[in-house]
Amino acid sequence: MSPHTLRNYQSDLDQFRQFLVARELALDGEGNVNVGEVDVHVIRAYLACLTQDRKKSSIGRKLAALKGFFRYLRTNHKIAKNPLLAIHSPKQEKPLPAFLSVDDVFQLLGAIKIKTRLDVRDRAALEVFYSSGVRVSELVGLNWADIDFQLGILRVVGKGSKERIVPVGEIALQALRDYGVEQRKKWQIACKGETPVFLNNRGGRITTRSVARIVEKHLRQAGLQIKMGPHGLRHSFATHLLNSGADLRSIQELLGHASLSTTQRYTHLNLDQLTAVYDKAHPRA
């Protein structure tokens, strides 16, 4: 699993331990948690506490962490009975993720005014993000050695440390070239080791939170009244490909999804296109 997943699961288990200690549930004589004393009633009390201020998706993940933990304990004979066997995960909501229309993307990218070196970086980051459809973690992890300007491809490392090759458009490549010139003016690029593409003001690799701020800033400057995080550009990438005739299987490969059902959540067809497909395909349309 990715470091993010491991960190989140660790946090979920720590939170469960804190709940048990605070409520004085399943503790031994010294006040330590005794996992063998955790039963279905304790689990239900914990879930009731969670449902007060959390979304179903958050509760589902915390429950998944507990299920994995107690399954491990039971498999290794640390406990006599798994208290979560009768506990079902909450049915997940499936809200449509925010995304931009093609016109909105052109407005966003066209509104970037180049006044500083950071503006050149922001334009390159957004162009690459939309052109390739990579994850935000893959974008910030990009090194100059991962870019093949001749072939127009990027090498990215995704979830589970899986590597894949994705194409990137000429406009994005030119934005990268322009940014590379500006970057070298301020920072000496090392000949060995990692050479991050996107840097912050201190010369370090930017973070995913930095990308979120870049997206928020330029959406606001472009006058686009839409609340959208960095993954909105990834959603837009997939949707625009689908609307232009790309098949879901190809989009799945480009996005690096293990399951096609995940890809379907990232894609949207508007009513006009659905109607056009219906008129063309249905024998009695």
**For 231-254, how does the pLDDT look when each residue is reduced to its tens digit (9 = 90+)?**
999 999 999 998 888 888 999 999
The reply to whether 244 and 152 lie within a common domain is yes
- Is residue 282 included in any domain, yes or no? no
The reply to whether 119 and 50 lie within a common domain is no
- Which residues are annotated as catalytic? 135, 159, 231, 234, 257, 266
Q: Tell me what the pLDDT averaged over the chain comes to.
A: 89
How many residues does the structure list for the chain?
A: 285
Average pLDDT over every residue of 213-233: 93
The reply to whether 68 and 123 lie within a common domain is no
Please tell me the predicted confidence (pLDDT) of residue 6.
87
What is the side-by-side order of every strand in the sheet holding 153-157?
147-148, 153-157, 163-167
The reply to whether 121 and 41 lie within a common domain is no
In this model, does residue 175 exceed pLDDT 90?
Answer: yes
Please tell me the predicted confidence (pLDDT) of residue 141.
94
The reply to whether 175 and 264 lie within a common domain is yes
φ/ψ (deg, to 5) at 147 = -105, 125
User: Alpha-carbon torsion 46, 51, 55, 56, what sign?
Assistant: positive
- Is residue 120 included in any domain, yes or no? yes
Q: How confident is the model at residue 55 (pLDDT cuts 50, 70, 90)?
A: confident
Range of the domain at 222: 102-275
The reply to whether 117 and 55 lie within a common domain is no
Q: How far apart are the C-alpha atoms of 277 and 274, rounded to whole Å? A: 5
- Is residue 80 included in any domain, yes or no? no
Q: How far apart are the C-alpha atoms of 37 and 143, rounded to whole Å? A: 50
**Total structural domains in the chain?**
2
Please tell me the predicted confidence (pLDDT) of residue 161.
82
φ/ψ (deg, to 5) at 227 = -90, 110
CATH of the domain at 241: 1.10.443.10
For residue 98, give both structure tokens: 């925010």
Q: Which residues does residue 148 pair with via DSSP β-bridges, in sequence order? A: 153
- Is residue 49 included in any domain, yes or no? yes
Q: How confident is the model at residue 190 (pLDDT cuts 50, 70, 90)?
A: low
- Is residue 166 included in any domain, yes or no? yes
Place of tokens 């990268």: 176
Tell me the per-residue pLDDT of 78-127, one tens digit each, with 9 for 90 and over.
Answer: 999 999 998 888 776 666 668 899 999 999 999 999 999 999 999 999 99
Q: Decide which of 256 and 4 is more confident.
A: 256
H helix or E strand, kind and range, residue 147: strand 147-148
The last residue of one of the domains, among 75, 94, 127, is 75
Average pLDDT over every residue of 44-55: 83
Measured between alpha carbons, how far is residue 126 from residues 36, 166, 212 in Å?
51, 16, 11
The reply to whether 216 and 179 lie within a common domain is yes
φ/ψ (deg, to 5) at 15 = -65, -40
pTM for the predicted model, two decimal places: 0.71
In this model, does residue 205 exceed pLDDT 90?
Answer: yes
Q: What is the DSSP letter of 111?
A: T
Please tell me the predicted confidence (pLDDT) of residue 125.
97
- Is residue 86 included in any domain, yes or no? no
Is the Cβ–Cβ distance between 268 and 239 less than 8 Å? Answer: yes
The reply to whether 109 and 13 lie within a common domain is no
The reply to whether 134 and 10 lie within a common domain is no
Measured between alpha carbons, how far is residue 284 from residues 102, 175, 270, 279 in Å?
32, 49, 22, 8
Average pLDDT over every residue of 6-27: 91
**Quick one: which of 245, 213, 246 has its CA closest to 230?**
213
- Is residue 126 included in any domain, yes or no? yes
- Is residue 94 included in any domain, yes or no? no
Q: How confident is the model at residue 15 (pLDDT cuts 50, 70, 90)?
A: very high
The reply to whether 56 and 194 lie within a common domain is no
The reply to whether 24 and 122 lie within a common domain is no
In this model, does residue 274 exceed pLDDT 80?
Answer: no
The reply to whether 53 and 175 lie within a common domain is no
